[in-house]
Amino acid sequence: MSAIESLPPVRGLRPDTGDGLTVERLPRRQASLETNLARKGVWHIGPLQLALPIDGRDTLGLLRVSGPPLTLYDLDTFAWLTECWRESDRDAAGRVDFTLYNLGRDLYGREPDGKERRLIRASLRRLSRAEFELEGYDAAAAAVGQLDNPSEEGWIRLVGSVRWSRRDGGERHVAYLDGWIVEQLQAGYLTYLDWRVLRSLEGLAKRLWVYLESQSFKRSGVGEGSVRIWLAPPMLQALGMSDKHAPQARRTLVRAAERISAADRSFVGFELHKPPRRGGTWALVARRRLPASAQVGASVGRPATAAASRRRRS
């Protein structure tokens, strides 16, 4: 019996039922994220006051962050901006016109109040001020290496700038996605996310789910696919986990996996695999239902294209 099978069973929560975890019927159905950002450890999963400077390596290589830490709320905000850019005329300068009302309505399912509008503004400020040195997959070059903006001497941002209207209310503001983001999106290197599931999950469960959405699931049974995640330090860094005690980290991941199964019905199970010999690396295997039209998945770590992601989410 696996470590997860020995835990109490999930209570059968579903997106359309409420019993401790509810996936709300929000106005928006889909968001999207540049795939490196779904895989890199740029997102802080705990309280901001406990955030530490990030300078290390994750599964894709170099990871260095300067400026304010980015929260999972910021991930939601940026995934919303990315999808709005994709749904509009896909401006080459990365321009996204938005209102606080529309963004807040999609975040909360209703018109945002004053506090929520301030949270949105603070999120956009963090997204425009955080700077990164990252290694990842360059879609235009079809190679893994440093992701950079030549004009910024190797440092990149997610949002280049935000132009705020003088009046709030229903006035339109403008955000500009940074140039390297636009280039990646134009090359089709993005991961689609179910907005309702994204907003229902929190903490490590949200971060792990976003990472899994960027992966290609190999067919492993009738109508099912699986992906294996090696729980080595680079993976824990990618997931934003600061717990250095391996058994505790695995227990935390097990609880996060349970929450994912409760929110996203496409996932049918998670298993912890113990290494065959002492000192080996544990693995977390995720299994999910595949759409009938899905093709055989590629190996773990292969960059997902927009087309492949669309097949997985159709």
Is residue 160 within 8 Å of 172, Cβ to Cβ? no
Q: End-to-end alpha-carbon separation of the chain, Å?
A: 33
d(CA 155, CA 190): 21
- Quick: pLDDT tens for 254-269: 999 999 999 999 999 9
In 67-189, where do the E strands start and end? 70-71, 95-98, 131-138, 143-147, 159-163, 173-177
Distance CA 101, CA 22 (A): 23
Question: Looking at the predicted structure, is the pLDDT value of residue 77 above 80?
Answer: yes
Contact 42/156 with Cβ under 8 angstroms?
no
Q: Which residue has the tokens 């059968």?
A: 12
- Provide the mean pLDDT of the chain: 85
Residue 16 confidence (pLDDT) above 60: no
**Cα 309 from Cα 210, distance rounded (Å):** 12
pLDDT-derived band at 22 (thresholds 50, 70, 90) equals: low
In terms of Cβ atoms closer than 10 Å to its own Cβ (0-12, 13-18, 19+), residue 94 is buried
Write down the CATH number for the domain with range 202-313.
1.10.10
- CA–CA separation, 242 vs 51, rounded Å? 10
Amino acid 157 reads R
Residue predicted with more confidence, 244 or 205: 205
Q: What is the pLDDT of residue 133?
A: 94
Q: Give me the percent of the chain exceeding a pLDDT of 90.
A: 71
Provide the residue ranges of all domains of the chain, joining segments of one domain with +: 30-191, 202-313
Amino acid residing at 264: D
pLDDT at 293 over 70: no
Q: At what angle do helices 306-313 and 203-213 cross, to 10 degrees?
A: 110
Question: Using only C-alpha atoms, what is the Rg of the chain?
Answer: 19
How, if at all, do strands 173-177 and 218-221 pair? unpaired
What is d(CA 169, CA 152) in angstroms, rounded to the nearest whole number?
34
- Within the chain, strands assigned E span 30-34, 43-44, 55-58, 61-66, 70-71, 95-98, 131-138, 143-147, 159-163, 173-177, 190-194, 218-221, 224-230, 267-273, 283-289
Output the pTM of the full model: 0.85
Q: pLDDT tens digits for 151-193? A: 567 789 999 999 998 765 567 999 999 999 999 999 999 999 9
Positive or negative: CA dihedral 173, 66, 69, 88 = positive
- Confidence tier at 291 by pLDDT (50, 70, 90): confident
- Taking alpha carbons only, the member of 239, 198, 177, 173 closest to residue 34 is 177
